[in-house]
Chains A and B, each alone.
Chain A
Amino acid sequence: MNDDQVKKGVDEVFEEAFEISPDRLKPESKIFEDLGLDSLDIVDLIVALQKKFKVQIREDERVRKIRTLDDIYQFIIALKNAGGFSQS
């Protein structure tokens, strides 16, 4: 999986789990302010990302620093580069 595939996968999570149209998904989009998620949604965002990328991130402290969509891209890409997940 390359970086673009990771970004596409993250975007799919937002489209499928949170019904956000693709045109609103920009790297600089803020998760709360621009995409309209709230604290309860963050729990389900973590669950959806875990399922999508077969990772365990609920206990990962870096999750707390995420603010924008690009923060998620970079977080997942970092996990991938560290060999932290596998997906067919």
Chain B
Amino acid sequence: MKRVVITGRGVVSSLGNDLPSLMAGLAHGKSAVRHMPDWKKYKGLHSLVGAPAELKGEKDIPRQVRRSMGRLSIFGAQAAKQAVEEAGITETFLTSQRFGCVMGSTMGGAEAMNDAFELMLPSLDLSQLSAMSFFKCVSHTAAMNVAQYLGIKGYVMATSAACASSLQALGLGYELIRSGRQDAMLCGGAEELHPIVTGTFDILFATSTHYNEDPSVTPRPFDERRDGLVCGEGAGVLVLEEYEHARERGAPIFGEVAGYSTSGSGSSVSQSSREGMQACIEDAIADSGLRAGDVDYISAHATATMQGDQCEAEAIRAVFGGKVLVGGLKGYIGHTLGASGAIELAASLEMMSRGEIYPTLNLGKVDPACSGITHVQERLKREIRVIVKNCFAFGGINAALVCKKAED
């Protein structure tokens, strides 16, 4: 098996449109969660908070490439470009069949779907539909648009597993490079904030609804006063590359992907289970050849739902005991769903480089049901050598990725 390293990172987030801006926001303890007054018009929508990113610089993408991109694909393309530039990928390599792309999202372009149905359904009239509606809506919109934008000719695939989408994209890229099918891949996910997306969670009582007038204090991962998730948006894309290939061309190396697993819990469509999460994390660690005791930091899924946080805390405790450091980033940028795994991994890798861990924002008093693990509640200077990134999704789908610090 070949080794797989991370040589480029790109992020668009509600705390800024590149990784340094995101890290600056985290370092300053900034919340990007806002009250969303326009959402009041939706009957039955109780969560009026979200973490919007700023759409900017989109005209840098040529019109004939941009025309098929909705908001999430633009975010994805921008993050992908950042990652390619940081990795120093040449045009020749990028457009060879040895370079691929896997990008995930929850459901494709929510805004484009909404617009298409609004145009079409009132009078069942298709004549006003843009030729671009389909390309903006579909579940592989981020993957195909990133591939078109950058001229990618290797594997182009989309993962679609809701909140686990981008971690599955990274896992798939890892497996394709490890097995020798690709030399490098852009892997990640993109998501856009839209009331129909928040509404999906809202009708299941999974959203935060008690802090509409005080948005910066929610979501509250692992906190006893947590009341659900807050949707965010953005994109995270990493360049995964075969180790020798990266070494040979002198690429920067931000970490090594050491292990991965994805699995179903088989118990509920709406949530995972402690047993399912635990099995997935254990399998990822086994895949890495490391031991649970080698792990220094868990970048938790931690969406701030009552059940999800408790199950995750129990699973972490069962695998690692109480000493491993556990943090989550959704208090800062909300839940970016299909982008969350990649955005949060990019930030965690940067924390690993800095030897500094930023706390779980809005975690005041730990819920006793989420105790027994070491929550990061203040900024810590600490060497991190091994990270585990968790994602758990609708459909009872689990994903866990193990990364270790780059070494010779």
Contacts and interface: CB of A to CB of B under 8 A. Distances in A.
Interface of A: 18-19, 36, 38, 40-41, 43-44, 47, 50-51, 56, 58
Nearest to A39: B131
Contacts, number: 27
A43 B128 CA distance: 10
Greatest chain B CB density within 10 A among A19, A36, A38 is at: A19
A54 B131 CA distance: 19
B127 interface: yes
Interface in B118-145: 127-132
A51 B130 CA distance: 11
5 contacts: A18-B63, A19-B63, A40-B131, A41-B64, A47-B129
B131 A44 contact: yes
B128 A38 contact: no
Contact of A47 (B59, B64, B67, B128): B128
Contacts of B130: 43-44, 47
B299 to A, nearest CB: 40
A44 B132 contact: yes
A43 B59 CA distance: 22
Contacts of B128: 47, 50-51
Contacts of B63: 18-19
A36 B67 CA distance: 13
Contacts of A56: 127
B127 A58 contact: yes
A50 B132 contact: no
B61 to A, nearest CB: 12
Contacts of B59: 19
Given A18-B63, A19-B63, A40 B127 contact: no
A19 B127 CA distance: 23
A85 to B, nearest CB: 14
B131 A50 contact: no
Closest 9 CB pairs of A and B: A43-B131, A40-B131, A58-B127, A19-B63, A44-B130, A44-B131, A47-B130, A47-B128, A56-B127
Contacts of B64: 36, 38, 41
B128 to A, nearest CB: 6
A37 B323 CA distance: 61
A18 B64 CA distance: 9
A47 B127 CA distance: 7
Contacts of B127: 47, 50, 56, 58
A58 B127 CA distance: 7
Interface string B145-183: 000000000000000000000000000000000000000
A44 to B, nearest CB: 5
A54 B129 CA distance: 14
Nearest to B135: A40
Contacts of B129: 47
B204 to A, nearest CB: 36
Nearest to B68: A40
A56 B127 CA distance: 8
Nearest to B131: A43
A37 B128 CA distance: 19
B160 to A, nearest CB: 25
Interface string B288-302: 000000000000000
A38 B63 CA distance: 12
A37 to B, nearest CB: 9
Contacts of A44: 67, 130-132
Greatest chain B CB density within 10 A among A38, A41, A47, A51 is at: A47
Contacts of A36: 64
Nearest to B125: A56
Nearest to A45: B131
A45 to B, nearest CB: 9
B326 to A, nearest CB: 48
A58 B67 CA distance: 20
Contacts of B67: 40-41, 44
Interface string B64-76: 1001000000000
Contacts of A47: 127-131
Nearest to B62: A19
B232 to A, nearest CB: 30
B312 to A, nearest CB: 45
Nearest to A48: B130
Contacts of A41: 64, 67, 131
